[in-house]
Structure 1
C-alpha cells in the first residue's frame, strides 16, 4: 500500500523523487509507475501494476460501448503515462501533466492505499482541510448510526423480556 505524505521538490527538468517506500514489488511499482490526471481531484494519480489491474477490471466489467466505460477508458487508458525510475528513483513528469494540475517547485506526494496522488502544495492544503472536515463529519454520523442501532437492540431485548 501507498501510505503517508511527503513534500518533495520538482526540479527544473520536472524530475520527482518517489519515496523508496512507494517503490515496492508488493504494490507493483518496483520498476516504475503509471500516472494520469485524477478523476476525483485536481492532482495527478499514480500507482503500480496492481492499481492498473484494478482499474482495468472495473473498466472491463462495464459493457463495451457503455458511456461510463468509454469515459473511464479515455480518462485512464488514454491519459495514462507510464514512467520508469531513473537510477536515483526519480520519475520525469511530462510537461502537460504538470501544467494541467499546476505543479512546480514543491509538491506533495500523498499515499492513499492502492494509489498515490501528486499535488500542488497550496491545493493540497485546501484539499487536506476539506478531507479532514468530511472525515470528522463521517465519523460523527457513523457514531450516531451505531448508537441508534444499539438502542434498537436494547429496546428489542427489553420488549422480549416483558
Structure 2
C-alpha cells in the first residue's frame, strides 16, 4: 500500500527518484500513465495488469469506456527503475502533468500519483476544507 507525501526533484533527463520505501515494490517494473486532474498515476507492473484486466470488462459499446481506455492506455509507459531507484517520465507525460523541477509524489493506496508541486498544493488547498467538512458517507461503509 502506498501512503504519504514525498517531494523528489525531476532531473534534467526527466527522471525522479522513487521514495526509498517503495523501491522494492517497483523494482520489477512500473507503469506511468495519465491520471485525473492532470497528475500521473504510477502503478507497480502487477497492479497495472489488474487495472488493465478490469478495463477489459468494460463494454466496448460504451463510448465513455472507449474514450477513457484510449486516453489512459495510450499514455501508459512501462519503465524499470535503475539501481538508484530512478525512472524516466516520458516527455509527453511530463507535459500532460505540467512537470518541471518540483514534483510531489503522493501515496494513493494501490498506486502513487505524481503531481507538479504547485498544482498539488493548489489542489490540496481547494479540497482540504470540503474533506474536513464532509458529513455524509462518501465511501460506502467507511466514511
Per the TM superposition, whether the score is higher than 0.5 is yes
Q: Could you list the runs of 5+ residues in structure 2 that have no partner in the other structure?
A: 138-143
Partner of 2:79: 83
Kindly indicate whether the alpha-carbon contact (under 8 Å) linking 2:43 and 2:110 is maintained by their aligned counterparts in 1: yes
Q: Write out per-residue CA displacement over residues 80-120 of structure 1, whole angstroms, 9 at most, x where no aligned residue.
A: 01111012110011112112221111110011101111111
Computed over aligned residues only, the root mean square deviation of the Cα atoms, in angstroms, reads 1.7
Higher relative contact order (CA 8 A, sep 6+): 2
> Could you say which structure has the larger radius of gyration?
1
Partner of 1:47: 43
Residue correspondence of structure 1 range 138-149 to structure 2 within 5 A = 138=134, 140-142=135-137
Q: Could you list the runs of 5+ residues in structure 1 that have no partner in the other structure?
A: 143-162
TM-score by length of 2: 0.85
After TM superposition, the runs of 4+ consecutive aligned structure 1 residues lying more than 4 A away are none
Shift of 1:77: 1.7
Matched residues, number: 137
Shift of 1:14: 0.9
More helix, by proportion: 1
Distance 1:46 1:111 in 2: 10
Distance 2:28 2:56 in 1: 25
Residue correspondence of structure 1 range 57-136 to structure 2 within 5 A = 57-136=53-132
